[in-house]
Amino acid sequence: MLVADRVIAIAIMALSAYFMWHATALPIGWNGMTGGPGGGAFPFWLSLLMLLSAAGVLVRSLTQAPSSQHFFDSHMLRNVIMVVLSLFVTIALIPVVGAYVALPLFLFWYLRIYGGHGWVLTGILTFATPVFVFFFFEVTLKILLPKGVTEPLFFPLYAMFF
């Protein structure tokens, strides 16, 4: 298992460095003209965070004693496949019903149905996440997310904030 951790951590670190290198083609700092971050800011800083996280996994794997655990058992593989398939469904739904419908559907499935969490936590996260995402991306950063068939529902919000 430690060998797999090391190989994956090194691969993610290399991929992160590649993303960071390409992100520097655009400004990565604050853009005074638009009053927001440059086009390469999020890719660069998120890639840096990914690189540091992978470095932490690599360091942990180098300091741990070897174990006889398998990388994946059948139960774990089933869980990973279920989550990956649900992510593919979510991504496929985004152009049709929009990010603000696909995201809560995924969160509801993941938290309540798959994770078995309570109704309060599921309800709060399912409703608060799209609201936060809307205000962060659309209002603050002025980055429009796909809305699919729900686009007309956002016209009153556009009138209020733009």
Average model confidence (pLDDT) across the chain: 90
Query: What's the token pair of residue 155?
Result: 């016209």
Q: Which residues of 38-50 are buried (b: 16+ CB within 10 A; e: fewer)?
A: bebbebbeebbeb
Dihedral sign of CA atoms 109, 115, 119, 125 in order:
negative
Q: What is the pLDDT of residue 162?
A: 79
Percentage of the chain surpassing pLDDT 90? 62
Query: What's the token pair of residue 113?
Result: 């149905």
Q: Are residues 47 and 115 in the same domain?
A: no
Place of tokens 């686009």: 151
Measured in degrees and rounded to the nearest 5, phi and psi for residue 31 equal -95, 110
CB 138 within 8 A of CB 145: yes
Strands of 32-146 (E only): list them.
36-37
Q: What is the pLDDT of residue 34?
A: 65
Measured in degrees and rounded to the nearest 5, phi and psi for residue 28 equal -105, -5
Structural domain ending residue among the three candidates 71, 95, 124: 71
Work out the average pLDDT over 82-104: 96
Q: Are residues 60 and 104 in the same domain?
A: no
pLDDT per residue over 95-126, tens digit each?
999 999 999 999 999 999 999 999 999 999 99
Q: Are residues 51 and 106 in the same domain?
A: no
Q: What is the pLDDT of residue 47?
A: 96
CB 147 within 8 A of CB 98: yes
Q: Is the pLDDT of residue 81 over 90?
A: yes
Q: Are residues 46 and 25 in the same domain?
A: yes
> Range of 6's domain?
1-71
Q: What is the pLDDT of residue 41?
A: 85
Q: How far is CA 113 from CA 103, 117, 130, 131, in A?
A: 15, 8, 19, 22
pLDDT per residue over 25-77, tens digit each?
888 887 766 667 777 888 999 999 999 999 999 999 899 877 666 666 788 88
